[in-house]
Amino acid sequence: MRTRTDCRCCAGTSLTEVFSLGEQPYANAFLTAEQLTQPEPTAPLVLMECQDCGQVQLQHVVDGRELYRNYSFQTSSSEFMTRHFAALMAGNVARYVPRGGFVVEVGSNDGTALDSITRPDVRRLGIDPADNLAEIAEQRGVPTLCRFFGEDVAREVVEQHGPADLLVACNVLGHCDDLDDFCRGVNALLSPTGALIVEVPDVRHLIERTEFDTIYHEHLSYFSAHALVTLFGRHALSVERIEPQGVHGGSIRLTVRRGSGTALCRDSAGRAARDWSAFNARSLDLRTRLIHWLTEQRDLGRVVWGYGAPAKATVLLNYAGITNDLLPVIVDSTPTKQGRFVPGTHQPILAPDRLRVGKPDAAIIFPWNHATEIRSKESEYLAAGGQLLTIHEMHS
């Protein structure tokens, strides 16, 4: 772990602390039964804001090799996200990829997005550091390079396959410590007429919608459009388009091209409107309400489980200190998470069909971003009187 004292978007050094979740375990490091008795690694989660460009980033950087070698999250776990990425690929392949062209996805996970490309003439390559995921992707026929993307890897790829017409990086920029190296990689790999498509959660929504549970060690940056335009501008990359996206609590999609003539003015992305003290107060209030509600349910003799074990569940449960006496079980559809336990608070993770057997009175949907999909899958449980709710819907 190291402390970062400069802004990864503008290189400035005026960083101010705006929020802290304290010392926390790694959100996606779901434990095996043997690991339950062993000490767990933790690191602080402290948010810093750059006073020059508005970038928000973690003060402490945990080595990515520790977080990503074996990765539990799988893109294919959501049908909604699978459709979202298929639409992204379809539109941009049609727009930027000529016959026989080349598409590279950074952070390609289990190959879901690249697998959606239907044109047989298009060559594809995924790049992802998790070997368990690269293996899954390869099995479904998506060629995958199991590495961290950066300038060196980009040069190797160009040498082997030629330049990329389309580079896609969704929910991956936030995970990169060295964004200058990422941008040098883009410049090494992108064809002169190609495009880079980036998607990241928008920090504006994180603040406005009190999404503090999206703050964890993997997420080193919490971007605004302004900070990203600043970053790319320093690397002769120009942001051609910014489109809001509803996914992950409110995201932005950027289309980035070669050239320094940034077509977009650097909109200040709500900097003046950032009210961190109200965000701090709302986060504390949410935590208090959650603890009260769960205690009340327990005292009424009602059983409450968790539905979905996203990284966000680990953050919320640990921040609120919710152990098995208040919430004893979580169900999740991801095979690699089942049979494991939540870091820190140790709830067991079971397959979703156990919900129909165990029939808890209620379950908290931890991935609030997937509430619609989960409710439609669990219509039987709901019809039988079960309750599914998100933390934002909780009133005691």
Site residues (vs ligand JHZ, CB under 6 A)? 73, 77-78, 171, 201, 218, 248, 308-312, 332-334, 337, 352, 367, 369-370, 373-374, 377
Distance CA 157, CA 239 (A): 24
- The residue range among 8-16, 76-84, 249-257, 327-335 that interacts with Zn ion, by the rule CB under 5 A, is 8-16
Rounded alpha-carbon distances, angstroms, from residue 364 to 28, 89, 99, 216, 322:
19, 33, 48, 20, 13
Chosen from ligand JHZ, Zn ion, none, partner binding at 102 (C-beta under 5 to 8 Å by type)? none
The tokens describing 77, both together, are 């776990």
Chosen from ligand JHZ, Zn ion, none, partner binding at 374 (C-beta under 5 to 8 Å by type)? ligand JHZ
Residues 50-69 that bind Zn ion (CB under 5 A): 50, 52-53, 55
Where do the DSSP E strands lie in the chain? 2-3, 15-25, 42-50, 56-58, 60-61, 102-106, 123-127, 144-145, 164-170, 190-201, 221-222, 237-245, 251-258, 304-307, 330-331, 349-350, 362-365, 387-389
Chosen from Zn ion, ligand JHZ, none, partner binding at 257 (C-beta under 5 to 8 Å by type)? none
DSSP letter assigned to residue 260: S
Q: Which is nearer to Zn ion, 123 or 266 (CB)?
A: 266
From the CB of 234, what's the least distance to Zn ion, in Å? 10
From the CB of 268, what's the least distance to Zn ion, in Å? 13
Phi, psi at residue 43, to the nearest 5°? Answer: -155, 155
Q: Which is nearer to ligand JHZ, 127 or 188 (CB)?
A: 127
Q: Is 13 helix (H, G, I), strand (E, B) or coil?
A: coil
From the CB of 121, what's the least distance to ligand JHZ, in Å? 30
From the CB of 370, what's the least distance to ligand JHZ, in Å? 4
Q: Which is nearer to ligand JHZ, 48 or 374 (CB)?
A: 374
Q: Which amino acid is at 45?
A: L
Chosen from Zn ion, ligand JHZ, none, partner binding at 369 (C-beta under 5 to 8 Å by type)? ligand JHZ
The tokens describing 315, both together, are 């953050």
12 binds Zn ion (CB under 5 A): yes
